[in-house]
Amino acid sequence: MKALVLTGGSGVRLRPFTYSTPKQLMPLANKPVLEHVVSHLRTLGATEVCLLTGDWTDVICEVMGDGSRFGVSLTYLRQERPLGLAHAVQSARPFLGDDDFLMYLGDNILADPAGTVGQIVGDFRERRPAAGLVVQSVADPRAYGVAEVDADGTVRRLVEKPSLPRTDLAVIGLYYFTAAVHEATDAIGPSARGELEITDAVQWLIDRGDDVMARRYSGFWKDVGRAGDVLLCNRRLLGDLRTDLRGEIDQASEVRGQVVVEAGARVVRSLIEGPAIIGPGTLIEDSRVGPGTSIGRDCVVRGTHVSDSVVLQGARIHTSRGLRGSLVGRFATVGPGEQGDPDNRLVIGDHARIEMTVV
């Protein structure tokens, strides 16, 4: 089966990190978001995956490669301007042809250990509606496409970001389509915001009398649009880890719970409390790490406590004042400081330096 993954978007809400990397490559449990997405698509039966890229084409291609390590074949197509999800489908037509396909928003995480999404996709593939939507009840649906659905799952109406939603069923970042969607994307015009909306294309199919169905998903779903979303997704994915201690852990250290210490990492006189992952080449010394924490490769964490945080490649943390709920950029430094509140929360970009002092 084919799949289309959308990796465009400027990531404004995740700055300063998205000045130097696309949000789809932000690491969660020490793997880029796109790795989680493509691996999930493989479990759903996709073997041919197209990454529709924007300004970060070369960077994404370098990280993701040809897809062989995920068990898929990866194709790269560039969308010159992000003009809506329906326009993305048009841009990928050379890859999609007339085949059925899944469309996955590349900044979305669906943590689904129970395999519910697989059952939903299997239902779509068996029934082959013109469009299959995955929906979830949300507290405030005004920021989403909202579906009105009959008891049997038939979609009667779909509205993009309504001011007065009639239901609480938000369309989440995974779609199923047959070739009928190409007629719809060609037939619709730009919305008020100047984009070709996929909701308008699906509504066009509904109005024509095509079969459009929805299935409810109640598991974890989040997009990594903000720093807090990155931390939330990281904690959730860390919960799926299996303990794997390939690094060097001295006798004065202790490991509790689900912990991964990757080969080449060293843990010295420290406590690692899972769920947590320590990347290769990283030194943890005289510190407490976790729970809910990812430390990337080639980092140094010394004399501190880091919990519920994401620390990216090459960062240095050596302050006696602890960090919690923090996102520390690549090659950033959190410098020495006096003993103080262990609940400091930081969001600092790549190559930044902060010294923790008491005023």
Residues 228 and 246 in one domain: no
Provide the pLDDT confidence category of residue 341 given band limits of 50, 70 and 90: low
Asked whether residue 340 carries a pLDDT value surpassing 70, the answer given is no
What CA dihedral angle connects 73, 19, 298 and 289, to 10 degrees? -100
104-114: average pLDDT: 86
The residue out of 236, 259, 277 marking a domain boundary is: 236
Report the SS3 class of residue 67.
coil
| Residue 157: its H or E element | strand 155-160
Q: Is the pLDDT of residue 161 over 80?
A: yes
In terms of domains, do 204 and 251 share one? no
Q: How confident is the model at residue 159 (pLDDT cuts 50, 70, 90)?
A: confident
**Sole residue written with tokens 């390939």:** 246
Strand partners, 104: 5, 174
Residue 80 has pLDDT above 90, yes or no: no
pLDDT at 81: 82
The CA distance from 202 to 226, in Å, is 28
Is residue 344 within 8 A of residue 321, CB to CB? The reply is yes
Q: Domain residues for 334?
A: 241-355
Whether 135 and 251 share a structural domain: no
- CATH of residue 91: 3.90.550.10
Number of domains comprising the chain: 2
